[in-house]
């Protein structure tokens, strides 16, 4: 099994196309971070304004307010994170998961490897493991690169970010924006990016499942992405106010949707990991694990019985 | 002795199309078996069922007494296969492709990779990406991957497709060498009838999913009739004599000689009759039977509408 995983990893990371997704994520970080760096003084000023808002004119904010953790945090700024996770990362995961089986099927290489001794279930498990590693590595790379760029441009320091609810920070708590000490900020953002990896693994599982019964990678990726977007739309309708009665059905199914639980990476950002957050996180992680297990089992069942005609 | 390949009532249906219809076939150790039939006759489907790529609807396909479709995939360690056009990873080098496929079979010494690359004449291009290979080179690499595990059984589906005349001759010589020197059992499907005749010890003809003929090539070609060219001093008289014989099926003049078709094993009787009639026979040259004629006659008899063997 380990040999198969190694082979699949070697195939994945020797393909130039694999690096397009990493390059896109790096470009996105630079596209956001470089302008901030160019207008560093204005951003700094605006953050100081945020911190001193409601304190009166005799308050002066001293010290450094724009530091390394600002970049990874700004990448998770709403609505940026929705676009990045629900569209960009989901697209990469769907493309990779979709091509894992359907791509090899259409290229004919699946018949070459299936005339070798390893059992089909082992081939499927190896592909699943490698795709999960790839999906997680996307989120980890995204976070790490954002940290690296942030620290390279702005150096060390605490995180000051206006999007944060006031009850979340440690240290002085001004009205407009909390200050989170550097260590706590790195921990919080690290957790968020790791949980983002879990979300992407779930999206990839869906794509791999669709890939197990489709004959073309684009069909598989398109179908998986379509399902994710549909689920996002349904979830958005389900989050509408209760006063809108005709959306009651969507409100009912929203808690069970894959995309609802794919948002689990937002939990540490919103509340930190207090008791309530841990419960919510555990619940969402359980749902995602369930979805992954169902997609894995369904994909394996289909793949084991599938006729290789191409 | 247990057959290397055994099909027992092998059947596959695609909707209303009966692709393979209760095929019973056994191929013994050391045979070089040619599997013939027009396009759509069910050759590739049969081969795929043998290798476990397609699940039969009825019957069994056994290799060395074990069914790959039923999960006994270890037997594939003893098999090398090239199914239709070689499907390899374009973004990897020829050598890397072989390393990956070797690892999937449990690995082989790197020296073996050198050997097979040398055998198929790809040593000089082994480090180039397969995407840059010509069709003929891909075909050779496909053959190399099939030979990699030093198989006891080699299954080749159209191995000479796309090869230039030199390549076809090389494949012919290679198959002869493997069959004669390495005692390898070879199961090869092909449309190149003269190549099959020159290479195979046995053939089976498939028409509309049914095995209509199976036997040793020499025996099948001896069946029915024999053609010969007779050098004679008086062609007109000789023609009269031959036409009066009941076992002579046809007589034609060919320059100063006669071309006759007689029932099998009756050529000596024809010669005796000519001599008895006082004619001087200067030459008696039997013409080698032709697999193409046998193929066409069997296919016509089987009612397969085909104009050529493609």
A243 min Cα distance to partner chain B (Å): 52
Looking at residue A269, its pLDDT comes to: 82
Our CA dihedral for B144, A127, A298, B19, rounded to 10 degrees, sits at: -10
Q: What are phi and psi of B250, to 5 degrees?
A: -160, 150
Q: Which of A12, A114, A115, A121 to mutate to test the interface with B (most CBs of B within 10 A)?
A: A115
A63-80 pLDDT per residue, tens: 677 888 999 998 888 777
Instruction: Using DSSP, state whether B35 is helix, strand or coil.
Output: strand
- For residues B76 and A88, the answer to whether their CB atoms sit within 8 Å is no
Residue B259: CA count within 13 A, CB half-sphere:
6
What is the spatial distance between Cα A129 and Cα B106, in angstroms, rounded to a whole number?
20
Residues 138-167, chain B: which have Cβ within 8 Å of A? 145
Contacts of residue A237, Cβ cutoff 8 Å, sequence gap at least 6: A247, A250
Looking at residue A181, its pLDDT comes to: 84
- For residues A14 and B90, the answer to whether their CB atoms sit within 8 Å is no
Output the six-digit token pair for A110. 């699946």
Residues 111-140, chain A: which have Cβ within 8 Å of B? 111-119
Structure-token match 């977007």, residue found: A229
Alpha helices (runs of H) in chain B, residue ranges in sequence order:
43-50, 94-104, 110-119, 135-147, 165-180, 193-199, 217-222, 235-243, 267-276, 291-301
B101 touches chain A (CB under 8 A): yes
Q: What are phi and psi of A226, to 5 degrees?
A: -60, -45
- Partner-chain residue, chosen from B48, B53, B100, that has the shortest CB–CB distance to A7: B100
Q: Return averaged pLDDT per consecutive 10 residues of chain B, 310 residues in all.
A: 88 91 91 90 92 92 86 84 89 93 85 90 88 88 91 90 81 84 88 84 90 84 78 89 89 85 83 91 82 80 53
A215 touches chain B (CB under 8 A): no
What is the spatial distance between Cα A175 and Cα B289, in angstroms, rounded to a whole number?
100
Q: Give the DSSP per-residue string, B132-184.
A: G--HHHHHHHHHHHHHTT--SEEEEESTTTT--HHHHHHHHHHHHHHHHTS--
What is the spatial distance between Cα A104 and Cα B25, in angstroms, rounded to a whole number?
31
What is the spatial distance between Cα B141 and Cα B47, in angstroms, rounded to a whole number?
20
A242 touches chain B (CB under 8 A): no
B88 touches chain A (CB under 8 A): yes
Q: Which of B15, B51, B53, B129 to mutate to test the interface with A (most CBs of A within 10 A)?
A: B53
Per-residue pLDDT of chain A (310 residues; tens, 9 = 90+): 888 999 999 999 988 888 999 999 999 999 999 998 888 888 888 877 777 766 666 666 666 778 889 999 988 887 778 888 878 898 999 999 888 999 999 999 999 999 988 999 999 999 999 999 999 999 999 999 999 999 999 988 888 776 644 334 444 444 556 778 888 889 989 999 999 999 999 999 999 999 999 999 999 999 999 999 999 899 888 888 888 878 888 988 999 999 999 988 888 887 667 788 888 889 999 999 999 999 999 999 999 989 988 8
> Strand ranges (DSSP E) for A125-261?
159-160, 179-180
Residue B73 and residue A3: Cβ atoms within 8 Å?
Answer: no
What is the spatial distance between Cα B211 and Cα B27, in angstroms, rounded to a whole number?
13
Residue A113 and residue B54: Cβ atoms within 8 Å?
Answer: no
Looking at residue A148, its pLDDT comes to: 96
Contacts of residue B50, Cβ cutoff 8 Å, sequence gap at least 6: B5, B7, B61, B63, B68, B155, B187
Using a 10 angstrom Cβ sphere, with 0-12 exposed, 13-18 middle and 19 or more buried, the burial of residue A171 is exposed
Looking at residue B1, its pLDDT comes to: 66
Structure-token match 């039969």, residue found: B56
Residue B106 and residue A117: Cβ atoms within 8 Å?
Answer: yes
A42 touches chain B (CB under 8 A): no
B60: β partners: B8
Looking at residue A145, its pLDDT comes to: 96
Chain B residues close to A13, C-beta within 8 Å: none
Residue A114 and residue B48: Cβ atoms within 8 Å?
Answer: no
- Partner-chain residue, chosen from B71, B83, B103, that has the shortest CB–CB distance to A3: B103
A100-130 burial string, b = 16+ CB within 10 Å, else e? bbbbbbbbbbbbbbbbbbbbbebbbbbbbbb
Instruction: Using DSSP, state whether A147 is helix, strand or coil.
Output: helix
- Partner-chain residue, chosen from B79, B83, B104, that has the shortest CB–CB distance to A111: B83
Residues 73-112, chain A: which have Cβ within 8 Å of B? 107-112
Residue B83 and residue A113: Cβ atoms within 8 Å?
Answer: no
- Partner-chain residue, chosen from B55, B83, B100, that has the shortest CB–CB distance to A10: B100
Residue A114 and residue B53: Cβ atoms within 8 Å?
Answer: yes
Contacts of residue A287, Cβ cutoff 8 Å, sequence gap at least 6: A256, A258, A260, A261
Looking at residue B163, its pLDDT comes to: 78
Residue A117 and residue B76: Cβ atoms within 8 Å?
Answer: yes
Looking at residue A17, its pLDDT comes to: 85
């Amino acid at each position: 099994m380990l040999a198969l995983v190694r082979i699949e990893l070697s195939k994945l990371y020797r393909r130039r196309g694999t690096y397009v997704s990493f390059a896109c994520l790096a470009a996105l970080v630079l596209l956001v971070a470089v302008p901030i760096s160019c207008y560093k003084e204005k951003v700094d000023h605006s953050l100081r304004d945020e911190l001193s808002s409601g304190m009166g004119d005799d308050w002066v904010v001293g010290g450094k307010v724009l530091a390394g953790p600002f970049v990874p945090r700004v990448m998770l700024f709403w609505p940026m994170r929705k676009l990045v996770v629900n569209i960009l990362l989901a697209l990469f995961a769907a493309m990779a998961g979709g091509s894992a089986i359907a791509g090899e099927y259409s290229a004919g290489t699946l018949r070459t490897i299936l005339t070798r001794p390893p059992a089909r279930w082992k081939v499927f498990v190896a592909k699943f493991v490698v795709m999960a590693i790839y999906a997680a590595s996307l989120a980890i790379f995204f976070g790490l690169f954002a940290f690296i760029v942030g620290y390279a441009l702005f150096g060390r320091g605490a995180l000051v970010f206006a999007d944060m609810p006031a009850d979340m920070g440690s240290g002085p708590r001004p009205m407009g924006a909390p200050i989170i000490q550097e260590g706590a900020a790195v921990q919080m953002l690290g957790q968020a990016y790791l949980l983002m990896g879990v979300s992407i693994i779930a999206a990839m599982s869906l794509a791999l499942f669709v890939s197990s019964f489709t004959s073309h990678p684009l069909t598989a990726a398109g179908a998986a992405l379509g399902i994710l977007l549909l689920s996002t739309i349904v979830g958005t309708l389900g989050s509408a106010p209760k006063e809108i009665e005709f959306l009651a059905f969507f409100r009912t199914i929203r808690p069970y949707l894959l995309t609802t639980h794919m948002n689990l990476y937002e939990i540490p950002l919103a509340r930190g990991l207090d008791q309530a957050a841990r419960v919510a996180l555990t619940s969402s992680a359980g749902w995602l694990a369930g979805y992954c297990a169902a997609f894995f089992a369904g994909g394996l069942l289909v793949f084991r019985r599938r006729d290789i005609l191409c | 002795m247990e057959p290397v390949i055994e099909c027992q009532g092998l059947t596959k249906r695609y909707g209303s199309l009966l692709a393979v219809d209760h095929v019973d076939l056994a191929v013994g150790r050391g045979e070089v078996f040619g599997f013939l039939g027009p396009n759509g006759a069910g050759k590739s489907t049969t081969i795929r069922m043998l290798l476990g790529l397609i699940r039969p609807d009825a019957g069994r396909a056994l290799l060395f007494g074990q069914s790959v479709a039923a999960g006994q995939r270890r037997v594939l360690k003893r098999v090398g296969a090239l199914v239709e056009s070689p499907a390899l990873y374009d973004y990897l080098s020829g050598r890397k492709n072989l390393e990956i496929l070797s690892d999937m079979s449990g690995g082989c010494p790197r020296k073996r990779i050198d050997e097979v690359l040398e055998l198929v004449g790809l040593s000089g291009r082994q480090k180039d990406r397969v995407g840059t290979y010509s069709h003929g080179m891909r075909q050779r690499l496909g053959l190399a991957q099939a030979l990699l595990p030093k198989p006891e059984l080699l299954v080749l589906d159209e191995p000479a497709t796309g090869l230039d005349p030199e390549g076809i001759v090389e494949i012919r010589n290679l198959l002869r060498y493997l069959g004669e020197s390495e005692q390898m059992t070879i199961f090869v499907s092909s449309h190149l009838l003269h190549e099959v005749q020159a290479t195979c010890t046995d053939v089976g003809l498939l028409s509309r999913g049914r095995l209509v003929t199976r036997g040793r090539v020499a025996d099948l070609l001896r069946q029915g009739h024999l053609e010969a060219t007779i050098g004679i001093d008086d062609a007109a008289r000789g023609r009269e004599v031959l036409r009066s014989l009941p076992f002579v099926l046809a007589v034609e003049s060919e320059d100063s000689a006669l071309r006759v078709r007689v029932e099998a094993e009756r050529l000596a009787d024809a010669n005796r009759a000519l001599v008895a009639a006082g004619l001087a026979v200067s030459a008696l040259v039997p013409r080698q039977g032709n697999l193409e004629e046998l193929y066409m006659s069997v296919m016509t008899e089987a009612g397969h509408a085909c104009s050529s063997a493609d």
